[in-house]
Amino acid sequence: LEQEKFNEAYTVFEELRNWQSIYKYRAAWFQALGLLKQKRFEESKKVLLQIPEEAEDYKKAQELLSKL
């Protein structure tokens, strides 16, 4: 994301989310941020809504959702 390689980052994060990795919700958070940087707001919202309450980034996801 930092290097603005959004497509590559999206693919990696999607793979982490699909493999039931311990990082799947963290990957969802970063995937949502990447979508936001690309101004893909609706897609970002959908990803943020999939982050459950027990996830590390849940509060940040909820704060971000409230701003979108």
The answer, yes or no, to whether residue 4 has pLDDT greater than 80, is no
Which tens digits make up the pLDDT trace of 42-52? 999 999 999 99
With tokens 């990957």, the residue in question is 27
Q: Quickly state the pLDDT bin for 21 (edges 50, 70, 90).
A: low
Q: Domain limits of the chain? A: 6-67
pLDDT of amino acid 48: 97
Among residues 49, 7, 9, 6, the alpha carbon closest in space to that of 25 is found at: 49
> What is the pLDDT of the chain when averaged over all its residues?
85
At a CB cut-off of 8 Å and minimum separation 6, what does 56 contact?
Answer: 25, 26
What string of H, E and C letters represents the secondary structure of 8-48? Answer: HHHHHHHHHHHCCCCCHHHHHHHHHHHHHHCCCHHHHHHHH
Tokens of 53: 């309450």
